[in-house]
């Protein structure tokens, strides 16, 4: 089984893609299940996401999102209802796009709820999407997740994109904090070229060497930004076709999916 731990749908803005297209891409790539993220930058609220994914239960799993704007995010009670009911399998945050740090005070009560219900907090980390020119990298540096992990030891944190290009810093955060995970998504626009693949192989080896935590690294593509079929082929070559924990077990256990 293969689980893609990092995909999106969107209705406006940076990404426009629907669940049917995602399901078709997964079938082509040999992917069985996917975590799908809501996000304001894609014009997809958590409520929009929940409605769109209803026909795909057991295949596409919703991950909600909260924005930094106080008047634009759901109440703490609404978030707790989503988590308590199992409607969402985690929450995704976009620091570089919305100008906040992961350790900002407004997030602490939400992170406590995630810890309470044993659902992960996923943070965009590292480089930002080229179509979003107003993004600011200082908010997306993976070193900020060290403070989150220390202050919330029961919270499981997912660092998206291996924190690239800060691979060494990102790997150290994972090595130091046993409650921090990482996904390998978003290293290429579209499909991998031979040059992309060679560069990614170097990044992967460095990250795994320093982090020393293969049980806390997840397969993810960043569809529709990255091509899922190309991602699966590339990661089978780099991580090995028998890396079953990386391709499925790690995400199944972290997100509470049906095996």
Token representation of residue 37? 């993220």
Tell how strand 121-123 and strand 33-37 pair up. unpaired
Q: Domain containing 95 — which CATH number? A: 3.20.20.140
Domain count, the chain: 1
Reported as a single tens digit per residue, the pLDDT across 54-65 is 999 999 999 999
User: In this predicted model, what pLDDT tens digit does every residue of 193-210 receive, in sequence order?
Assistant: 999 999 999 999 999 999
d(CA 47, CA 57): 15
Q: What pLDDT was estimated at residue 241?
A: 65
pLDDT in tens, the chain (259 residues): 999 999 999 999 889 999 999 999 999 999 999 999 999 989 999 999 999 999 999 999 999 999 877 667 788 899 999 999 999 999 999 999 999 999 999 999 999 999 999 999 999 999 887 677 788 999 999 999 999 999 999 999 999 999 999 999 999 999 999 999 999 999 999 999 999 999 999 999 999 999 998 889 999 999 999 999 999 999 999 987 668 899 999 999 999 998 7
């Amino acid at each position: 089984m293969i689980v893609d731990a990092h995909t999106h749908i969107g209705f406006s803005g940076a990404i426009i893609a629907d669940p049917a297209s995602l399901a078709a891409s997964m079938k082509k790539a040999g992917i069985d299940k996917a975590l799908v993220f809501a996000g304001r930058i894609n014009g997809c609220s958590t409520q929009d996401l929940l409605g769109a994914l209803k026909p795909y239960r057991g295949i596409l799993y919703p991950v909600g999102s909260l924005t930094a704007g106080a008047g634009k995010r759901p109440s703490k009670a609404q978030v707790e209802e989503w988590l308590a009911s199992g409607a969402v399998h985690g929450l995704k945050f976009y620091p570089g796009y919305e100008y906040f740090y992961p350790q900002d005070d407004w997030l602490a009560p939400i992170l406590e709820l995630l810890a309470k219900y044993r659902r992960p907090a996923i943070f965009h980390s590292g480089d930002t999407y080229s179509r979003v020119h107003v993004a600011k990298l200082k908010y997306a540096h993976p070193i900020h997740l060290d403070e989150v992990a220390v202050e919330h030891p029961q919270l499981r944190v997912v660092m998206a994109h291996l924190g690239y290009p800060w691979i060494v810093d990102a790997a150290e955060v994972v090595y130091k904090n046993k409650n921090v995970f990482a996904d390998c998504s978003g290293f290429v626009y579209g499909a991998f070229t031979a040059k992309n693949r060679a560069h990614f192989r170097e990044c992967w080896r460095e990250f795994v060497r320093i982090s020393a935590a293969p049980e806390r690294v997840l397969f993810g593509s960043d569809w529709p930004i990255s091509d899922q079929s190309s991602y699966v082929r590339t990661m089978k070559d780099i991580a090995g076709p028998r890396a079953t924990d990386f391709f499925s077990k790690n995400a199944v256990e972290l997100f509470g999916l049906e095996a």
